[in-house]
Amino acid sequence: MAVRDKKKQTETGFITAGDRYLFGEGTHYEIYNKLGAHPKTFDGKTGYYFAVWAPHAASVSVVGDFNNWDPDACPMQVLETSGIYERFVPGIKPGELYKFAITTQTGKVIFKADPFAQYAEYRPGTASITAFNDSFRWSDSIWVQKREATNPREAAMSIYEVHLGSWKKKNRPEKDGYYTYKEAAAELAAYVKEMGYTHVELMGIAEHPYDGSWGYQVTGYYAPTSRYGTPEEFKYFVNYMHKKGIGVILDWVPAHFPRDAHGLADFDGQALFEYADPRKGEHPDWGTKVFDYEKHEVSNFLIANALYWIEQFHVDGLRVDAVASMLYLDYGRKDGEWVPNRYGGNQNLEAIEFFRHLNSVVAQRGHGAMVIAEESTAWPLVTHDPKEGGLGFTFKWNMGWMHDFLEYMKLDPYFRKFNHHKMTFGLTYFNSENFILVLSHDEVVHLKCSMINKMPGLFGDKFANLKAGYTFMLGHPGKKLLFMGQDFGQLHEWDEKVSLDWHLTEEDLHKDLQNYVRDLLHIYQKHPALYESDDDWDGFSWINANDGDRSIYSFVRYAKNHKKSLLFVCNFTPVARPDYRVGVPKRGNYTLILDNEHGAYKTGEKAPVLKAVKSECDGQPYSISLPLPAYGTAILRFS
């Protein structure tokens, strides 16, 4: 169908003066229902209504297959002084390609994808696609109601970080063998449920042009990537996960965006979504643009986008990427390459206000959804209430713990006694924020080795080391995150182009590690002592933090009622201790529920029971003795 109308079109009335006012104030939290492309009926005709914010443009038109991509065919009308252009085009159907043809102040015509597009062309295509009428019917109300009534900081959370494109692949040529959202849902849910994870965290769901960016350079913030299917199919994925009792977290990237010609960069011929000054508006390390958080419309674009994923797709949380790069004006920049704030400091005051605004709005709307900060510095009060000077995030990734943990685990066991503090330091600040302990994709790429190959020793020693490390991680306060493949000992570094090596799970050592991680995760969910008081000294107590010569750590995790508390003992050397004595806080029986050689003791199995004797050890009035093998671990339950 060809449409040609060079006459000035009258305003449609779809975007009201109230809409324009709220958008200009940065508080139109459903602006995605107004800007973008939406099926409408106007003057008795059905078609699509298009609207775009382009205040620096000389003129804008909508182009697509429906008008042979002719910039003269469907000119758009600017609405007063808002910088918003609109156009209703009759006869357009769902699934048609389109872009905005923007004539800049210099007379150049540039073609841009729709910033609010809900669907996009499969790469390497860059056009937006008119979305289908949304007929998806949700059936996850039980999950959503439970989420709204749950405090996530006092709940179990073990996260499986997943890149859908390389988790598994199909043996077929279409779309590079990617699983669709629907295909992935059943297999991924079954695996996650069996292993004992509570949530999946998905990388790279918002549309992005380059696979190698892993989804961290976004061009379609409102569009689930077409690599795996349609927006409705992604809703199916989330709904399916919820019905299986699994939460869904998305990686979200409000820190920067790429320079791709069809994307947000210089959107209307000038800096619009980004800061105009390159000392604020460009990331020299990444070659990307930085959002201008001072513009209300840009802040609105991002906050509405967060709510879009939470409210329209029912996701349970957003993990905000690269928070540190947003908070610090000098992040990745040398002297002279950044602009101080009005007080002369290096804090980005607009980004701070953005985070407080974002997190306050998400909390106030009462979904029970989480906002998680990947923040790698010592910025204070990240997870504290904005009213108290905090940023308001639900959780913060504990990057400091991750670095210390991995540095320690990579050491030859002989040298661990000289670095004993690396494993205890995290317990000096664990209650300063609400933390998630993370071993993410970033730790198994760029020549950092896979998790199993970070471990020292012969091949079998590597698995024993990793078992001990994961056991310590389980006991350490904080929610948990593992990247896919780490639970069975993936050998090669992660590569987004190929599937994980699932065949390894048929080999003894890999299968044994996978079973051990499964046991740990199920113990985690079963015992409130491991998650109820993650930010409180009431929930954690050292037994012996100073046994550096033997590289052994022992501690207790307490439930709120101090019932069914857990004692952890972890040996990080290949030296067996046949009669290791450890202090305990009270008399009674201590039941072994897991060790590194047996794994978890299942129902019906006779688990060893150790009776505490009145014999002072480790500053405790009672003690027990247990055999602690090379790289031995033990978790014991007591009341």
Q: Which residues are catalytic?
A: 321, 374
Tell which phi-psi region holds residue 549, choosing left (phi > 0), alpha (psi between -120 and 50) or beta: alpha
DSSP tag of 107? S
Write b or e for each residue in 608-628: b if 16 or more Cβ atoms lie within 10 A of its Cβ, otherwise e: eebebeeeebbebebbbbbeb
C-alpha span between 10 and 152 (Å, rounded): 50
Give start and end residues of each alpha helix (H) in 273-348: 278-281, 296-307, 323-327
Beta bridge partners of 291: 274
C-alpha span between 452 and 454 (Å, rounded): 5
State CA 95 to chain mean position distance: 30
CA-wise closest residue to 285 among 265, 260, 256: 256
C-alpha span between 450 and 394 (Å, rounded): 29
Residue 481 in 3-state DSSP?
strand
Tell which phi-psi region holds residue 536, choosing left (phi > 0), alpha (psi between -120 and 50) or beta: beta
Structural Rg of the chain based on CA atoms: 27
Q: In this structure, are residues 32 and 116 in contact, taking their beta carbons and an 8 Å threshold?
A: yes
Residue with structure tokens 């509570």? 198
Q: In this structure, are residues 84 and 35 in contact, taking their beta carbons and an 8 Å threshold?
A: yes
Q: What is the DSSP string of 35-66?
A: SEEEEEEETTEEEEEEEEE-TT-SEEEEEEGG
Q: In this structure, are residues 111 and 99 in contact, taking their beta carbons and an 8 Å threshold?
A: yes
247 burial via Cβ count (<10 Å: 0-12, 13-18, 19+): buried
CA-wise closest residue to 51 among 34, 26, 73: 34
Structure tokens at 426: 């995290």
DSSP tag of 131? P
C-alpha span between 102 and 59 (Å, rounded): 6
The DSSP element (H or E) to which 435 belongs, if any, is strand 435-439
Structure tokens at 37: 């492309």
C-alpha span between 319 and 507 (Å, rounded): 34
> CA 533, 524, 626, 592 torsion: positive or negative?
positive
Structure tokens at 335: 């002297």
- Start-to-end Cα distance in the chain: 75
DSSP strands (E only) in 342-412: 370-373, 395-397
